[in-house]
Amino acid sequence: MIDISLRVNGEYFEVSIEENLRLIDLLRDELKLLGTKEGCGEGECGACTVIMDGETVNSCLIMAFQANGSNILTIEGMEKDGKLHPIQQAYIDAGAVQCGFCIPGMVLSTKALLDKNPNPTRAEIREGISGNLCRCTGYNKMLDATEKAIKYMEEEK
Ligand code: FES
Ligand code: FES
């Protein structure tokens, strides 16, 4: 067992973990943050995407000990004071949420993109979510949602 500490959604955790525990298992099984989904478990689908120290990672490919000392954002950390993040609201309003399985990872990839580039082109949005697979929507709804989110965030300012 190894002791690690990390911050998840602003909350500080100290945990004892097996060396072979993956980050997704730490989040889902130990911390009970079930919003992070496991699709392939092989780094292909992006359903397990979280933001670690500002960068998107596939939490199925990262060992939990590699997250020692890091700051992680999962989908549960997006809403504030009971209000959805503008990106989440925009995904709903644009009709981008169908079965919903890919959405937590998709929303976090969108957030990481907009944090770095608040006004991306449609091509840059497509590139930003290119690591996230969706079996339902054909992706155009995600592009619409991201453009809507940009408007919502500008209005909030
Ligand atoms: S579950 Fe991690 S990339 Fe598919
Ligand atoms: S909404 Fe169903 S997989 Fe994307």
The tokens describing 4, both together, are: 């690690």
35 in contact with ligand 1, CB cutoff 6 A: no
| Separation of alpha carbons 33 and 2, rounded Å | 21
Q: Which atom of ligand 2 lies nearest, measured to the CA of 106?
A: 4
The highest-level CATH class for domain 86-156 is mainly alpha
In SS3 terms, 57-120 reads as EECCCCEHHHHCCCEEECHHHCCECCECCHHHHHHHHCCCCCCCCCHHHHHHHHHHHHHHCCCC
Give CATH 1.10.150.120 domain extents, the chain.
Answer: 86-156
pLDDT of residue 86: 98
Asked whether the predicted pLDDT for residue 157 surpasses 90, the reply is no
Residues with CB under 6 A from ligand 2: 98-103, 134-137
**Residues 125-134: contacts with CB within 8 Å, 24+ apart?**
131/46, 131/49, 131/56, 131/58, 132/45, 132/46, 132/47, 132/49, 132/102, 132/105, 132/106, 133/39, 133/44, 133/45, 133/46, 133/47, 133/102, 134/102, 134/106
Give CATH 3.10.20.30 domain extents, the chain.
Answer: 2-77
pLDDT digits (tens, 9 = 90+) for 32-77: 999 999 999 999 999 999 999 999 999 999 999 999 999 999 999 9
The tokens describing 65, both together, are: 């000990």
pLDDT of residue 67: 98
Give the CATH number of domain 2-77; options: 3.40.190.10, 3.10.20.30, 2.40.50.100, 3.90.470.20: 3.10.20.30
pLDDT digits (tens, 9 = 90+) for 80-109: 999 999 999 999 999 999 999 999 999 999
Task: Share the mean pLDDT of the chain.
Answer: 97
135, 139, 142, best to mutate for ligand 2 pocket (most atoms within 8 Å of CB): 135
pLDDT digits (tens, 9 = 90+) for 115-124: 999 999 999 9
pLDDT digits (tens, 9 = 90+) for 3-29: 999 999 999 999 999 999 999 999 999
